[in-house]
Amino acid sequence: MRFTRLRLNGFKSFVDPTDLLIQDGLTGVVGPNGCGKSNLLEALRWVMGENRPTAMRGGGMEDVIFAGAATRPARNFAEVALQIDNSERLAPSGFNDSDLLEITRRITRDAGSAYKVNAKDTRARDVQMLFADAATGSQSPALVRQGQISELINAKPKARRRVLEDAAGIAGLYQRRHEAELK
Ligand code: ATP
Ligand code: MG
């Protein structure tokens, strides 16, 4: 599974529709402080199912919606769409009938989040599971936040183990076991 495109609309500082093509090789995003580089990475986490406002540097989930600026009114919704090249059919079963997967998450003020995969309504949990076994996902160690390296160095052993387990790709197993125990 390879990320090929990220589209944002009303997400944080990206008030106007923004289309980011992710090509083969290394992609660099450069720009002055406050231009939205970290917001882009947060959009990626968010569309993969991140639900902790703190991980989005906000107080509540609706804080990801464009909050308005001197010359622009606030928006009522935010939407992020992530396209994935699935031509190798590496997505989990249930998502594996097409070469291209498009995951969309939209949040509307007072109405919460809704997800779609290839335009079909999908539960948050299923979107999270789509990524749980891949070396990605909203809490993937592949996504390194600003300040995270020093946090890791100072972390307690248990917290550090969690990161290693994620990197080893067994986080999805824990999630499934947890759900099986609830049933
Ligand atoms: P740095 O180089 O300092 O790390 P950066 O490019 O990572 O900067 P971000 O942290 O992504 O910048 O962007 C911060 C900007 O996004 C701030 O100007 C902030 O006001 C704006 N911002 C964050 N949330 C919202 C929101 N809900 N509505 C409008 N603007 C927002
Ligand atoms: Mg930043």
CA 27 – CA 60 distance, rounded (Å): 30
Tell me the two tokens of residue 18: 């923004």
Residues in the chain: 183
Minimal-distance CA residue to ligand 1 atom 26 = 12
Nearest one of 36, 24, 118, 116 to 79, comparing CA atoms: 116
pTM as predicted = 0.85
CA 64 – CA 78 distance, rounded (Å): 7
Q: How far is the CA of 26 from the centre of ligand 1 (A)?
A: 23
Q: Which residues, 6 or more positions from 120, have their beta carbon under 8 angstroms from its beta carbon? A: none
Tens-digit pLDDT profile for residues 103-157? 999 999 999 999 999 999 999 999 988 887 665 677 777 788 888 888 888 999 9
Residue 134 confidence (pLDDT): 60
CA 7 – CA 18 distance, rounded (Å): 6
Ligand 1 pocket, CB under 6 A: 12-13, 31, 33-39, 63, 65-67, 146
**Could you give the angle at the alpha carbon of 50 between the alpha carbons of 46 and 55, nearest 5°?**
90
Tens-digit pLDDT profile for residues 31-85? 999 999 999 999 999 999 999 898 899 999 999 999 999 999 999 999 999 999 9
Q: How far is the CA of 122 from the centre of ligand 2 (A)?
A: 31
Residue 78 confidence (pLDDT): 98
Is the ipTM above a cut-off of 0.90?
yes
CA 82 – CA 38 distance, rounded (Å): 16
The phi, psi pair for 89, rounded to 5°, reads: 55, 50
Judge whether residue 170 has pLDDT over 80: no
CA 154 – CA 101 distance, rounded (Å): 38
The phi, psi pair for 117, rounded to 5°, reads: -120, 120
Residue to mutate, 6, 8, 13, 64, ligand 1, most ligand atoms under 8 Å from C-beta: 13
Q: Which residues, 6 or more positions from 182, have their beta carbon under 8 angstroms from its beta carbon? A: none
